[in-house]
């Protein structure tokens, strides 16, 4: 019986995929395999696996956040997630612990090798063979023992389009091609994100452009990357970029029309809508975070320093929207919503723990939005004394009050005209001022202190607070009508401990801290990475940055190990419980008697009292001053 006749008898007559059919033919004709006699995969020893994985350690680390993303997106449809080498060897494996016996019996474990010539038609082997995203669903596997599995796999490319790894998701339940068409798109998107981040690290310090056919840079999966030298010659590009631009690998080392003059590109990048023209169309461009022209800080600081820093360090610019979102699916979705609402002029309320980046996000929305040419005016409502807030916001006319400047003051609201007003800790805005501010939002005008004529003003509004504004409304500490006005949308920023890309953020924090310190990036031991990933991070990104700077200052011989971390970081002792006041129920901070009772219970410790009440120290001091409350004996 010929291989073609055997193939017709074994494969489903409804199978529409010629890629699968051609793979089965190779299994018969080229490899001499039989479906019921495919040998089990070879497995490397631990020492062999360590040698094989060493060049791909960075890629493995970059992939961890994407494995978490895929688990969230695909849910019950997948049970195993794998990263394999270009030779088909499994390097990283993520699986439910309950499935470990199944994986062990099937030799699906790190070090196992799944190629087409040894295991027949399978997702990893077929992806390596075709260099394209593929799905192999159940009986499409050549080996009968793999017929209960379904796999979707995508390639990850490295320098100049060479295969660097393959990303695979596997289902152990009965499935179909419809489900795995969706899974394949998810895996392909994750592979592109890993590929782009790896590209940014590889070409840190060079002129690197991000290229988008849609102009939307919210998700790196839809972007390409290109690296140019000072003469405009193409150093490297991701394969998707070459396809986008209508080029192939022969262009490496050459100049490309529309991208061949770095000085011109820099001028284009400074325009309001940076676009380059190619024969295949118009493409939006941005400078990558690692480019020598604009190194960035923040959540996406992929800066690799391999030698001593230059004598003069460039200034530290602000992180962009994509830096803040990283690869965390929840953050990406919140960012997409925030960007769309901000561009439409709706007010946004940002909620989240301290240190999660509310101020950074507000500034990034302004910088990327339609009001970027206006001012970004930031006001911390908890930091301005109560008797100065009104004049600070609304300005004043000459002679409006004792001590007023001779020429008066325009006020922060007028400074924000045509731009963005960011009100941080808006939950601490005094009630009387809330009424005036509500009028500004309703009528887009106000009367300065000491003035008689209204002043027109128009700005985008972003507010933020770590306090629950809805709860403040219920306790009558915040006006319900103002709450409705500031909440075109309420967005919550993930705590660092809840982000799917926590491990990637830890790596990036070390990379940029080393860059800032002008030192080569040290090796961070797995013990340190594990400890930092397991920590709760109550101070979020701000705390992470402090811890990383401390660790770099303490490291020796180019290694960050556990003794380099702050000694009190992982103390597990339970924090002292704050005593409860004698009265039960919510405390009204506008009730002087209740406020004195709480202060007394905390031995007049203002910080602990403010923490228990859920207000800032500045707010508590203002209440104490307004009620003339003083510590006994003071």
231 or 146, higher pLDDT: 146
Q: What pLDDT shows up at residue 430?
A: 83
541 or 620, higher pLDDT: 541
Contacts of 297 (CB under 8 A, 6+ apart): 316, 317, 318, 319, 512, 516
- Angle CA 110–116–120, to nearest 5: 100
For range 78-99, the mean pLDDT? 86
CA–CA distances in Å: residue 210 to residues 214, 299, 373, 532:
12, 17, 22, 31
pLDDT classification of 319: cutoffs 50, 70, 90 = low
Dist CA 29 CA 252 (whole Å): 37
Q: Which CATH number fits domain 3-193: 3.30.450.40, 3.30.43.10, 3.40.50.1100, 3.40.50.2300?
A: 3.30.450.40
pLDDT classification of 4: cutoffs 50, 70, 90 = low
Q: What pLDDT shows up at residue 298?
A: 38
Model confidence pLDDT, tens digit, residues 403-442 = 555 666 778 888 889 999 999 989 888 888 888 888 888 8
Dist CA 95 CA 107 (whole Å): 13
* The pLDDT of residue 195 is above 90: yes
Q: Which CATH number fits domain 329-492: 3.10.250.10, 3.40.50.300, 1.10.1040.10, 2.170.16.10?
A: 3.40.50.300
CA–CA distances in Å: residue 384 to residues 392, 394, 472, 623:
8, 13, 20, 13
pLDDT classification of 582: cutoffs 50, 70, 90 = very low
537 or 220, higher pLDDT: 537
- Would you list the domain boundaries of the chain? 3-193, 203-294, 329-492, 574-634
Q: What pLDDT shows up at residue 347?
A: 92
Q: What pLDDT shows up at residue 247?
A: 92
Q: What pLDDT shows up at residue 579?
A: 47
pTM of the complete model = 0.50
Model confidence pLDDT, tens digit, residues 539-579 = 888 889 889 988 998 888 889 998 899 877 765 433 334 44
Q: What pLDDT shows up at residue 202?
A: 83
Q: What CATH number belongs to 203-294?
A: 3.30.450
For range 155-164, the mean pLDDT? 94
* The pLDDT of residue 616 is above 60: yes
* The pLDDT of residue 8 is above 60: no
Q: What are the φ/ψ torsions at residue 44 (nearest 5 degrees)?
A: -70, 150
pLDDT classification of 534: cutoffs 50, 70, 90 = confident
pLDDT classification of 305: cutoffs 50, 70, 90 = very low
Dist CA 279 CA 290 (whole Å): 28
* The pLDDT of residue 348 is above 50: yes
Model confidence pLDDT, tens digit, residues 257-282 = 888 888 888 888 888 789 998 888 88
Q: What pLDDT shows up at residue 15?
A: 55
Asked if the domains at 203-294 and 329-492 fall in one CATH topology, the answer is no
* The pLDDT of residue 113 is above 90: yes
pLDDT classification of 64: cutoffs 50, 70, 90 = confident
**Average pLDDT, whole number, for the chain?**
81
SS3 category, 83: strand
At 626, which helix (H) or strand (E)?
helix 617-626
Q: What pLDDT shows up at residue 343?
A: 87
């Amino acid at each position: 019986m010929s291989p073609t006749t055997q193939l017709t008898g074994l494969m489903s007559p409804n199978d529409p995929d010629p890629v699968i059919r051609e793979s089965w033919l190779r299994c018969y004709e080229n490899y001499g395999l039989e479906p019921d006699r495919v040998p089990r995969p070879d497995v490397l020893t631990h020492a062999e696996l360590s040698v094989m994985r060493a060049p791909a350690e960075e890629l493995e680390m970059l992939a961890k956040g994407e494995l978490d993303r895929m688990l969230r997106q695909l849910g019950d449809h997948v049970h195993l997630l794998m990263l394999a080498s270009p030779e088909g060897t499994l390097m990283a494996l993520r699986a439910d612990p309950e499935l470990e016996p199944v994986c062990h019996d099937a030799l699906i474990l790190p070090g196992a090798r799944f190629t087409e010539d040894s295991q027949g038609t399978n997702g990893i082997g077929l992806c390596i063979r075709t260099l394209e995203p593929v799905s192999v669903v159940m009986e499409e596997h050549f080996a009968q023992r793999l017929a209960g599995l379904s796999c979707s796999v995508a390639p990850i490319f490295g320098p100049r389009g060479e295969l660097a790894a393959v990303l695979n998701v596997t289902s152990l339940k009965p499935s179909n091609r419809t489900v795995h068409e969706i899974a394949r798109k998810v895996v392909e998107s994750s592979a592109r994100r890993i590929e782009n981040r790896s590209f940014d690290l590889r070409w840190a310090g060079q002129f690197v452009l991000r290229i988008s056919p849609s102009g939307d840079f919210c998700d790196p999966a839809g972007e390409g990357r290109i690296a140019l030298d000072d003469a405009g010659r193409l150093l490297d590009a991701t394969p998707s970029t070459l396809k986008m631009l209508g080029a192939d690998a022969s262009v490496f080392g050459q100049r490309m029309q529309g991208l061949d003059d770095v000085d011109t590109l820099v001028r284009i990048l400074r325009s309001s809508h940076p676009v380059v023209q190619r024969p295949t169309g118009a493409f939006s461009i941005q400078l990558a975070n690692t480019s020598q022209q604009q190194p960035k800080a923040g959540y996406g600081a992929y800066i690799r320093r391999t030698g001593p820093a230059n004598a003069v360090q460039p200034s530290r610019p602000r992180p962009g929207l994509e830096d803040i979102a990283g690869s965390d699916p929840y953050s990406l979705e919140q960012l997409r919503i925030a960007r769309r609402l901000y561009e439409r002029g709706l007010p946004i309320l940002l909620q989240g723990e301290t240190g999660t980046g509310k101020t950074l996000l507000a500034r990034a929305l302004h910088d990327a939005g339609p009001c970027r040419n206006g001012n970004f005016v930031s006001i911390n409502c908890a930091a301005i004394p109560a008797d100065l807030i009104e004049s600070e916001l609304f300005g004043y006319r000459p002679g409006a009050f004792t001590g007023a400047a001779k020429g008066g003051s325009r006020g922060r609201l007028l400074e924000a005209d045509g731009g963005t007003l960011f009100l941080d800790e808006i939950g601490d805005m005094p009630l009387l001022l809330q009424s005036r501010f509500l009028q500004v939002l309703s009528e887009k005008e106000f009367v300065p202190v000491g003035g008689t004529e209204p002043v027109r003003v128009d700005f985008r509004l972003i507010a933020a607070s770590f306090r629950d504004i809805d709860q403040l409304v219920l306790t009558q500490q915040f006006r319900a009508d103002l709450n409705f006005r500031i909440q075109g949308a309420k967005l919550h920023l993930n705590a660092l401990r809840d982000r799917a890309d926590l491990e990637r953020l830890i790596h990036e924090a070390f990379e940029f801290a080393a860059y800032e310190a002008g030192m080569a990036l040290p090796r961070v031991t797995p013990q340190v990475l594990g400890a930092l990933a397991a920590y709760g991070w109550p101070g979020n990104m701000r705390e992470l940055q402090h811890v990383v700077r401390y660790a770099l200052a303490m490291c020796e011989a180019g290694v960050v190990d556990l003794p380099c971390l702050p000694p009190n970081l992982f103390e597990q002792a339970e924090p002292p419980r704050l005593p409860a006041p004698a009265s039960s129920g919510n405390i009204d901070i506008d009730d002087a008697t209740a406020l004195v009772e709480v202060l007394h219970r905390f031995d007049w410790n203002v910080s602990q009292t403010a923490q228990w009440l859920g207000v800032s120290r500045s707010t508590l001091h203002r209440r104490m001053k307004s009620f003339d409350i003083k510590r006994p004996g003071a």
